[in-house]
Structure 1
């Protein structure tokens, strides 16, 4: 009897097409503009506006001109981090506080924005507005 019920449900119009890609599928990814850690340069050209429940890819690029970091515990608590990739090494952390670059390199982070609010990522100890990026999760 159960196989007949399953067959009947699958025969309903649109049942076969109702399968959609999962949240982490490539089709659902949004790539954000890269953040830059370069001595004397702004971290970002503009604030980031994110949508809760959306999957994002973010690159952080350092030119090695100075030892620089980005911190933002509030932002990191408002997202679910899928993975952080550094030099082709994939890391799946349960939480983050900051990133620090001692040399030139690129970090790629994939995450899902979760908690709406206003956040920032900033260079520790810096007071300049260009040394931070404002992030809004709607």
Structure 2
């Protein structure tokens, strides 16, 4: 009996990491990707048309666009700590950061942020120093 048990244990220990890898590798696959509506940074205009609702474990692509009408930033440290950031693309330059607190646009341009939502909760990305509801976007991760 011992050789049969050891053979089964060995077969499981070899197959288990492969099966686990196959499950986690799917997070970055195209079938798990969702492109979110763009966020807009324009002087006096709303950042977003509506709140964003995300699902934990889903890979998202988010564009943040500035028209250059004012020097504007978008901050949200709590949100950025609730997601795993794959990369930030600025002018075709790919950046893979450990963490982010905010983005600031001095001129017009676009940032593409790709990430996996991780920690459920309600978060916000907002223009620093602004108090209006249109100057922020509420993001819920379920």
Smaller-chain TM-score bracket: 0.7 to 0.9
CA distance in 2 between counterparts of 1:25 and 1:83 reads 15
The match for 1:108 is 112
Q: 1:77 aligns with which of 66, 78, 81?
A: 81
Gaps of 5+ in 2: 1-6, 12-21
TM-score by length of 2: 0.82
* CA distance in 1 between partners of 2:30 and 2:72 (Å): 31
Once residues 140 and 45 of structure 2 are traced to their aligned partners in structure 1, the CA distance between those partners, rounded to angstroms, is 22
Matched, 1:97 2:101: yes
- Which residue is 2:33 aligned to? 29
1:50 and 2:54 equivalent? yes
- Alpha-carbon displacement from aligned partner over 1:10-69 (angstroms, at most 9, x marks no partner): xxxxxxxxx787211222210000000000110000000000010000000000000000
Q: Which residue of 2 aligns with 1:13?
A: none
Q: RMSD in angstroms over aligned alpha carbons?
A: 1.5
Q: Report how many residues are paired.
A: 122
Corresponding residue number in structure 2 for 1:123: 127
Counting only pairs closer than 5 Å after superposition, residues 51-66 of structure 1 correspond to structure 2 as 51-66=55-70
Q: Return 5+ residue gaps in structure 1 as ranges.
A: 7-18
Inter-partner Cα distance in structure 2 for 1:23 and 1:73? 23
Q: Which one has the bigger helix percentage?
A: 2
SS in structure 1 opposite 2:80? helix
Q: Distance between the aligned counterparts of 2:27 and 2:84, measured in 1?
A: 12
2:59 and 2:113 mapped to 1: Cα distance?
11
Give the TM-score normalised by the residue count of structure 1: 0.85
**Match in the other structure for 1:133:** 137
